[in-house]
Amino acid sequence: MINVFNLALFLLVTMSPPTKSLHLAGTWNSNNFFLFLAKFGFQKTDPKELENTQGYIYGNITNSSISSSTKELTLVVVDSEYFLDFYGNSSLAPSLACPAMFKKIDQIAFDYICKPKGVEDFLRKIPCPTKKLCVDEDNPANVVPGYQFTYKVRDVQRPRFWYLSLVSCYRDTSGRKCEWHSSKDSEITINYDIWLVNGNPSVKGLNPFEHQFSFELHDVFEIHLIAFTSCVIIFLLWIYAFTSNQRHIITCLFTACICGELLSIMMNLTHVSIFAFNGIGAEWLGKIGTLLDLATQCLVMLLLILLAKGLGITTDQFKWRSVIFTLWAAYTLLNVFLYIWNLVEIDNIISNTDEWQTWPGYATLAFRIIVMFWFLYELRQTFGQTNRDDMSFVMHFGAFFLVWFSYLPALALVTLQVSPLWRYKTILSINYAVEILAYAVLVHLFWPARSILFLVEGERPLPTYDLEITGLLDDMQESTVFDHEGDEIKDSMLGRDKASASDQATKRGDIQMKSKKSLFKSTNGRSRASNGAMLSNGSLQFHQDNKAYDRNELDEKDL
């Protein structure tokens, strides 16, 4: 199992596409022909605050070495309407690819020699001259100070994804032919340093947790922060309960789940916070947090199956151990495989398909539904074996976690109708809400005042405090008062003297003490169901025994 998670971590860190880093820096050689840099969601532009709400793409692209080639490369920034054809034709032979890639773009893109009537500023000739603006920047006032080029992205209708790429193509303007040719063999190596942001770079402090984030990641910091705060509160409450004589294999496993969830949220929150500062973040930390969250969710499922089988509720025996761990390991491995498939097989450049819309995703959701039915079957078996009248724990537990099992398949179907610009934050919010609510429900059900009848240790007598919070001690004391009053009436009717009445009361007190002691004892062979029945119905049985004893004593006196 450890080797599988190590492999998944390696793939998560090394195979992640560059679209997550919105401060792009690196080196590229024209021999590679095409390099996709980023897919970035720009927010809707507010015409009243044009400069502060439009998108900016700015940076430096220079030649890393002296080159005698007169050919150029091209920086391309387009939206999805033009990117599909552009990217789709990049797989052709270089001599054929360049004319095909720019055929649709040339219909609207501006070029001061070949397309002076173009309305869209999509293209830049690169590399730019050292310490000078790019040749296509005809208005220096539009360029962010300290950089060589600037794109301003305005869309007053809706948020939209834009795509940034480098390609080894150049436009031949000699004789105004304006034809596209390949420059793959030019042996040009460039260094690039590019920023993609929402809002004016000079006022990025207005909202640092949206400025450098693609639109689909807006509000993600707040979501992580709220989830982290809620999880800390639940964790502190549970630590108080866990240290209040709630040590059990179930509660220990639940503690591990809460700690894993808290740590995974903290890692993702740290990554997002660093990302807001430098546009890169600690991506390895976010990937470890993702893996830890995956492991924690699988561990919660194991906990639910064990509770459904009655471990710590109706029995102390851990039966069908090999079957449970085999199915749990299969589900965990399937989730890990789904993450790997998402990294390797899904084309995140042009595809808006998430991992649940693939056959491994369908298999994972189907497996989850099978586990849900298994959970219901085991819960039914546990419910049938218990002898207690109060089954509120099982009823509330089963009802809520039936929703917990079924929410993910339902969410996968619903989010098909949600725009990719809103899908990630929607799924993240619902996942956090359901997971944290699940922990809150379990803490409530395991709270000492409620769970003392279900997680009681068979060999240890219940302390007085535990009897007080369950109400058993008050019932015992109340029944003792009524028994004494009944004894006095019986004594007056029989005309016994005070000495005889005192002796009989002493005998009855000894018998009651023995009955109380037998109430606290439990044998090794009894299950938790019998123990719980004894605790919940012990006072009633205790009353019946006293009345039977009184009737026998009266019969003897009458004789």
Q: Which residue has the higher pLDDT, 114 or 521?
A: 114
| pLDDT for the residue numbered 65 | 75
**Among the listed residues 549, 459, 461, the one whose alpha carbon sits nearest the alpha carbon of residue 512:** 549
Q: How would residue 130 be classed by pLDDT, with cut points 50, 70 and 90?
A: confident
Q: Which residue has the higher pLDDT, 463 or 302?
A: 302
| pLDDT for the residue numbered 316 | 66
Across the chain, mean pLDDT equals: 76
d(Cα 254, Cα 234) in Å, to the nearest integer?
A: 12
d(Cα 538, Cα 525) in Å, to the nearest integer?
A: 18
**Among the listed residues 413, 15, 529, 446, the one whose alpha carbon sits nearest the alpha carbon of residue 234:** 446
The pTM (predicted TM-score) of the whole model is: 0.73
State which of 78-87, 227-236, 485-494, 546-555 shows the largest mean pLDDT.
227-236
**Among the listed residues 34, 38, 39, 36, the one whose alpha carbon sits nearest the alpha carbon of residue 92:** 34
- Range from 40-44, 244-248, 353-357, 399-403 carrying the lowest mean pLDDT: 244-248
| pLDDT for the residue numbered 10 | 40
Q: What is the pLDDT of residues 173-205, one digit of tens each?
A: 876 678 999 998 888 999 999 999 998 888 876
Question: Which pair of structure tokens corresponds to residue 51?
Answer: 């400069």
Instruction: Supply the DSSP string of 386-435, one letter for each residue.
Output: ---S--HHHHHHHHHHHHHHHHHHHHHHHGGGS-HHHHHHHHHHHHHHHH
Q: How would residue 454 be classed by pLDDT, with cut points 50, 70 and 90?
A: low
Q: How much of the chain exceeds pLDDT 70, in percent?
A: 69
Question: Which pair of structure tokens corresponds to residue 494?
Answer: 């029989």
Q: How would residue 349 be classed by pLDDT, with cut points 50, 70 and 90?
A: low
Q: Element (H or E) spanning 160, and its range?
A: strand 160-167
Q: What is the pLDDT of residues 324-342, one digit of tens each?
A: 888 888 888 888 887 777 7
Residue type, 270: T
Q: How would residue 109 be classed by pLDDT, with cut points 50, 70 and 90?
A: very high
Q: What is the mean pLDDT of residues 210-227?
A: 91
Instruction: Provide the sign of the torsion angle of the four alpha carbons 380, 382, 383, 384, taken in this order.
Output: positive
* CB contact set of 458 (below 8 Å; sequence gap of 6+): 316, 522, 524, 526, 528, 531
Q: What is the pLDDT of residues 270-320, one digit of tens each?
A: 999 998 888 888 888 988 888 899 889 999 999 988 888 877 666 666 677
Q: How would residue 448 be classed by pLDDT, with cut points 50, 70 and 90?
A: confident
Q: Which residue has the higher pLDDT, 176 or 439?
A: 439
| pLDDT for the residue numbered 87 | 92
Q: How would residue 532 be classed by pLDDT, with cut points 50, 70 and 90?
A: very low
* CB contact set of 279 (below 8 Å; sequence gap of 6+): 21, 22, 23, 195, 197, 212
Helical pair 283-308 and 420-446, crossing angle rounded to 10 deg: 40
d(Cα 528, Cα 526) in Å, to the nearest integer?
A: 7
